[in-house]
Structure 1
Amino acid sequence: MTDSVNLRAVVLDILMEINEKGEFSHLLINNALTKYQYLDKNKRAFISRLSLGTIENRIELDYIIDQFSKTPVRKMKPLIRNICEMSVYQIIYMDNIPDSAVCNEAVKLATKRGFTGLKGFVNGVLRNIARNKDNITYPDRNKDIEQYLSVKYSMPLWIVKMWHSQLGIDRTEEILAGFKQEKKTYIRCNTAKAPVEEIKRILSQESVSVADVEGIPYALEIKDYDYIAGLKSFRDGLYQIQDISSMTAGYMTGFKAGDTVIDVCAAPGGKSVNAAISVGTDGKVYSRDVSDYKAGLIEENISRLGLNNIEVQVKDALVMDESMKEKADVVIADLPCSGLGVMGRKPDIRYNITEDKLVSLKELQQSILSVVQAYVKQGGIMMYSTCTINSEENEANADWLCKEYGFKKIEYRQILPGKNGGTDGFFVAKLRRE
Structure 2
Amino acid sequence: MTKLNPREIAVKILCEINDDQAYSNFSLQEHFSQYTHLNTLDKAFITEMVNGTVRHMSHIDYVINQFSITKTNKMKPLILSILRVGVYQILFMSKVPVSAACNEAVKIAKKRGLGGLSGFVNGVLRTIARNMNNISYPDRSKNPIEYICVKYSYPKWIIRYWLEYYSIDFIEELCSASNKNPQITVRCNLLRTNKDTLMELLAKENVKVSPGVFLPEAIHISQTSAINDLASFNQGLFQVQDESSMLVGHILDPKPGEKILDVCAAPGGKATHCGELMNNQGQIFARDIHEHKLTLIRNSAKRLGIEIITTELYDATILDKEKVCQMDRVMIDAPCSGLGIIRKKPDIKWKKSSKDIDELVSIQRKILSVCSQYVKPGGVLIYSTCTISEKENLENINWFIQNFDFDLDTVEPYIPETLYCDTSKKGYIQLFPNVHNCDGFFIARLKRKR
- Give me the TM-score of the superposition, normalised by structure 2: 0.93
Deviations 1:272-306 (A, max 9, x none): 00111112233110000012122112112112212
Cα distance, 1:404 vs structure 2? 1.0
Mapped pair 1:381 → 2:380: yes
Moved more, 259-268 or 168-177: 168-177
Structure 2 counterpart of 1:12: 11
Classify the secondary structure of the residue corresponding to 1:221: strand
Mapped pair 1:242 → 2:221: no
Structure 1 counterpart of 2:70: 71
Moved more, 355-364 or 294-303: 294-303
Q: 1:204 and 1:96, CA in 2 relative to 1: closer, same or farther beyond 3 A?
A: closer
Q: How does 1:279-298 map to 2 (within 5 A)?
A: 279-298=278-297
Structure 2 counterpart of 1:50: 49
Q: How does 1:269-418 map to 2 (within 5 A)?
A: 269-410=268-409, 411-418=427-434
Instruction: Please tell me whether the aligned partners of residues 262 and 285 of structure 1 are also in contact (alpha carbons under 8 angstroms).
Output: yes
Structure 2 counterpart of 1:201: 200
Classify the secondary structure of the residue corresponding to 2:340: helix
Which residue identity does 1:165 align to in structure 2?
E
Q: How does 1:145-160 map to 2 (within 5 A)?
A: 145-160=144-159
Q: Distance between the aligned counterparts of 1:182 and 1:106, measured in 2?
A: 24
Structure 2 counterpart of 1:426: 441
Instruction: Please tell me whether the aligned partners of residues 181 and 343 of structure 2 are also in contact (alpha carbons under 8 angstroms).
Output: no
Deviations 1:232-277 (A, max 9, x none): 0101111100011111222222222222110001111111001111
Deviations 1:332-361 (A, max 9, x none): 100111111111111111111011111000
Classify the secondary structure of the residue corresponding to 1:151: helix
Q: Distance between the aligned counterparts of 2:311 and 2:137, measured in 1?
A: 51
Which residue identity does 1:17 align to in structure 2?
E
Moved more, 359-368 or 172-181: 172-181
Q: Distance between the aligned counterparts of 1:197 and 1:383, measured in 2?
A: 30
Deviations 1:46-96 (A, max 9, x none): 111001000000000000000011111011110011111110001111122
Moved more, 400-409 or 145-154: 400-409
Q: Distance between the aligned counterparts of 1:394 and 1:161, measured in 2?
A: 17
Which residue identity does 1:424 align to in structure 2?
D
Cα distance, 1:121 vs structure 2? 1.3
Classify the secondary structure of the residue corresponding to 2:439: coil
Cα distance, 1:201 vs structure 2? 2.8
Which residue identity does 1:89 align to in structure 2?
Y
Q: Distance between the aligned counterparts of 1:214 and 1:255, measured in 2?
A: 22
Cα distance, 1:34 vs structure 2? 4.3
Moved more, 120-129 or 367-376: 120-129
Instruction: Please tell me whether the aligned partners of residues 214 and 243 of structure 2 are also in contact (alpha carbons under 8 angstroms).
Output: no
Cα distance, 1:219 vs structure 2? 1.4
Q: Distance between the aligned counterparts of 2:97 and 2:221, measured in 1?
A: 32
Classify the secondary structure of the residue corresponding to 1:166: coil
Q: Distance between the aligned counterparts of 1:36 and 1:234, measured in 2?
A: 24
Q: Identity of paired residues, percent? A: 40
Instruction: Please tell me whether the aligned partners of residues 181 and 344 of structure 2 are also in contact (alpha carbons under 8 angstroms).
Output: no
Structure 1 counterpart of 2:95: 96
Which 4+ stretches in 1 moved above 4 angstroms?
34-38
Deviations 1:123-179 (A, max 9, x none): 111111111111001111010001100100000011011112211212211110111
Instruction: Please tell me whether the aligned partners of residues 292 and 314 of structure 1 are also in contact (alpha carbons under 8 angstroms).
Output: yes
What is the aligned residue count?
A: 432
Classify the secondary structure of the residue corresponding to 1:313: strand
Which residue identity does 1:231 align to in structure 2?
L
Instruction: Please tell me whether the aligned partners of residues 36 and 44 of structure 1 are also in contact (alpha carbons under 8 angstroms).
Output: no
Which residue identity does 1:207 align to in structure 2?
N
Cα distance, 1:36 vs structure 2? 4.9
Cα distance, 1:37 vs structure 2? 6.3
Structure 1 counterpart of 2:128: 129
Moved more, 293-302 or 355-364: 293-302
Instruction: Please tell me whether the aligned partners of residues 329 and 381 of structure 2 are also in contact (alpha carbons under 8 angstroms).
Output: yes
Instruction: Please tell me whether the aligned partners of residues 414 and 427 of structure 1 are also in contact (alpha carbons under 8 angstroms).
Output: yes
Which residue identity does 1:281 align to in structure 2?
N
Deviations 1:352-396 (A, max 9, x none): 101111100000110111100001111111110111111000001
Q: 1:226 and 1:266, CA in 2 relative to 1: closer, same or farther beyond 3 A?
A: same
Q: Structure 2 regions of 5+ residues with no counterpart?
A: 410-426
Cα distance, 1:398 vs structure 2? 1.1
Classify the secondary structure of the residue corresponding to 1:340: coil
